[in-house]
């Protein structure tokens, strides 16, 4: 039972931190019900008419005096409503929450703003999908809604490139998201998508997106995606994306729950050119001084069965502990199609690991965007 729980924990960590073949998955949950539309005029990076001429640094959702749910596990770092007038922002967020979570070894600050009520206090633990506030119209707000903002590693409001596009972190059930980068595009370059990608209901209006990330220094692109445009809450289907009078043109297929890069080959094409990997079970397994052979090392074999478009591929073979921490990098180089084997030595005098303790470990083979994982057991 203990090993089962440990394995489930590691699978969860893999789900949150490792890239997949062609698509990514959403990292958080939507903080409002699926019946609530995202405000099309206040998307991430949209031009925002303050005196400073900055961009909209989060995402607005048309939820009217109703329950707001936590998008991630974490804790409440600051609850302005509970802190009295000193925490209230009449020209900004009004009543707001700042929560702290983690993703991929990064600290993630989430802001829930313009609230009418706050249901948690500073220091409280919070859990995904649990009520934390009631939306409202406090602060600098023209109507009841939720302003949702993600800041990575630094909560300071003028910190450079810390904002992240929430539409790439969560989505309504049964939808996906698309992102890409229009080369050399200035901010607010129009990006069209056809056919209409939005589910109706709840969406009533949607026409196009805009590029972002250059003029306003606080607007950042995702660490993995490096995008300058995105479409969230996209119905499953195949779409054509155009910009710059057709100079930029992409066709992409998205499935429910996927975050798809429009600049990669389409899903259909990728299936025809799939890179086939085989990662074998290590031998011996279990291994270590406590087994009869007393061998602190084990052999890992793998095969690259087909190259993509005839190219050599970037191959990484990494060992992780049950908390997802890297303990050894065994392979990190280009390789052609073929069979390979690597020795993993867990002894204290090994160059790859420093006296690992008994327990379950995982080894992950990655070639380009393709990945396989297996577990092994060390007994000392």
pLDDT one-digit tens code per residue, 129-161: 999 999 999 998 989 999 999 999 999 988 999
Q: Could you write out the three-class secondary structure of 286-314?
A: CECCCCCCCCCEEEEEEEECCCHHHCCEE
What is the number of other CB atoms lying within 10 angstroms of the CB of residue 350?
Answer: 16
pTM for this entry = 0.65
Question: Does 330 fall in a domain?
Answer: yes
Question: Does 333 fall in a domain?
Answer: yes
Question: Does 179 fall in a domain?
Answer: no
Using alpha carbons, list the distances in angstroms from residue 189 to 128, 181, 208, 242.
35, 11, 10, 11
The answer to whether 372 and 364 have CB atoms below 8 angstroms apart is yes
215 vs 58, which has greater pLDDT?
58
Question: Does 332 fall in a domain?
Answer: yes
Q: Can you tell me the distance from the alpha carbon of 206 to that of 219, in angstroms, rounded to the nearest whole number?
A: 22
Q: Provide the β-strand partners of residue 146.
A: 61
Write the pLDDT tens digit of every residue in 183-219: 888 888 999 999 999 999 999 878 899 999 877 889 9
Question: Does 30 fall in a domain?
Answer: no
Contacts of 376 (CB under 8 A, 6+ apart): 281, 282, 285, 286, 287, 298, 360, 361, 362, 363
* pLDDT for residue 229 is more than 50: yes
Provide the mean pLDDT of the chain. 83
Predicted local distance difference test score (pLDDT) of residue 187: 82
Query: Cα dihedral angle (62, 68, 71, 72), rounded to 10 degrees?
Result: 160
Predicted local distance difference test score (pLDDT) of residue 119: 95
Predicted local distance difference test score (pLDDT) of residue 88: 79
Contacts of 365 (CB under 8 A, 6+ apart): 277, 279, 302, 315, 316, 317, 371, 372, 373
* pLDDT for residue 253 is more than 90: no
Q: Can you tell me the distance from the alpha carbon of 204 to that of 75, in angstroms, rounded to the nearest whole number?
A: 35
Question: Does 7 fall in a domain?
Answer: yes
Most confident of 14-23, 103-112, 317-326, 357-366: 103-112
Most confident of 1-5, 209-213, 289-293: 209-213
Mean pLDDT computed over 103-111:
93
Contacts of 52 (CB under 8 A, 6+ apart): none
* pLDDT for residue 106 is more than 50: yes
Q: Can you tell me the distance from the alpha carbon of 260 to that of 252, in angstroms, rounded to the nearest whole number?
A: 8
* pLDDT for residue 20 is more than 50: no
* pLDDT for residue 60 is more than 60: yes
Predicted local distance difference test score (pLDDT) of residue 3: 46
Classify 14 as helix, strand or coil: helix
The answer to whether 288 and 380 have CB atoms below 8 angstroms apart is yes
Question: Does 94 fall in a domain?
Answer: no
What is the total count of domains within the chain? 1
* CATH code of the domain in which 290 resides: 2.60.40.1930
Q: Can you tell me the distance from the alpha carbon of 346 to that of 294, in angstroms, rounded to the nearest whole number?
A: 12
Q: What domain range includes position 300?
A: 2-17+275-378
* pLDDT for residue 274 is more than 70: no
Report CA torsion sign: 47, 48, 51, 52. Answer: negative
* pLDDT for residue 75 is more than 70: yes
Classify 147 as helix, strand or coil: strand
Question: Does 315 fall in a domain?
Answer: yes
Predicted local distance difference test score (pLDDT) of residue 95: 94
Query: Looking only at Cα atoms, what is the longest distance across the chain?
Result: 74
Q: Provide the β-strand partners of residue 261.
A: 179
Contacts of 233 (CB under 8 A, 6+ apart): 38, 167, 171, 172, 175, 177, 197, 198, 199, 203
* pLDDT for residue 362 is more than 50: yes
306 vs 115, which has greater pLDDT?
115
Split at pLDDT 50, 70, 90, the class of 354 is low
What is the number of other CB atoms lying within 10 angstroms of the CB of residue 358?
Answer: 13
Mean pLDDT computed over 299-306:
86
């Amino acid at each position: 039972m203990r090993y089962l729980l440990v394995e489930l924990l590691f699978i969860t960590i893999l789900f949150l931190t490792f890239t997949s073949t062609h698509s990514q998955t959403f990292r958080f949950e939507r903080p409002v019900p699926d019946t609530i539309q995202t405000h099309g005029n206040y998307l991430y990076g949209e031009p925002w008419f303050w005196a400073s001429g900055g961009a909209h640094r989060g995402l607005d959702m048309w939820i009217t005096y109703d329950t707001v749910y936590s998008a991630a596990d974490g804790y409440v770092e600051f609850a302005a409503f509970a802190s009295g007038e000193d925490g209230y922002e009449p020209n900004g967020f009004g009543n707001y929450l700042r929560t702290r979570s983690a993703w991929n070894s990064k600290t993630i600050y989430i802001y829930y703003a313009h609230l009418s009520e706050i249901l948690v206090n500073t220091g409280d633990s919070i859990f995904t999908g649990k009520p934390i506030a009631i939306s409202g119209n406090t602060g600098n707000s023209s109507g009841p809604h939720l302003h949702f903002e993600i800041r990575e590693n630094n909560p300071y409001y003028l910190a450079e490139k810390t904002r992240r596009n929430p539409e790439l972190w969560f989505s309504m059930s049964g939808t996906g998201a698309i992102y890409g980068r229009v080369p050399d595009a200035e901010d607010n370059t129009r990006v069209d998508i056809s056919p209409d990608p939005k589910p109706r209901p709840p969406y009533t209006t949607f026409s196009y997106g805009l590029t972002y990330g250059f003029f306003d220094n606080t607007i950042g692109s995702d660490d993995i995606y490096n995008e300058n445009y995105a479409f969230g809450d996209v119905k499953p289907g195949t779409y054509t994306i155009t910009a710059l009078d057709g100079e930029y043109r992409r066709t992409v297929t998205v499935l429910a729950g996927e975050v798809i890069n429009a600049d990669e080959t389409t899903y259909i094409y990728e299936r025809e050119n799939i890179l086939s990997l085989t990662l074998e079970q290590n031998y011996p397994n279990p291994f270590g001084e406590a087994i009869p052979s007393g061998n602190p090392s084990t052999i890992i074999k793998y095969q690259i069965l087909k190259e993509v478009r005839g190219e050599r591929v970037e191959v990484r073979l990494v060992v992780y502990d049950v908390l997802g921490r890297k303990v050894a990098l065994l392979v990190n180089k280009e390789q052609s199609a073929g069979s390979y084997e690597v020795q993993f030595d867990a002894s204290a005098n090994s160059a790859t690991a420093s006296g690992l303790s008994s327990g379950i470990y995982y080894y992950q083979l990655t070639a380009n965007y393709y990945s396989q994982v297996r577990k092994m057991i060390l007994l000392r």
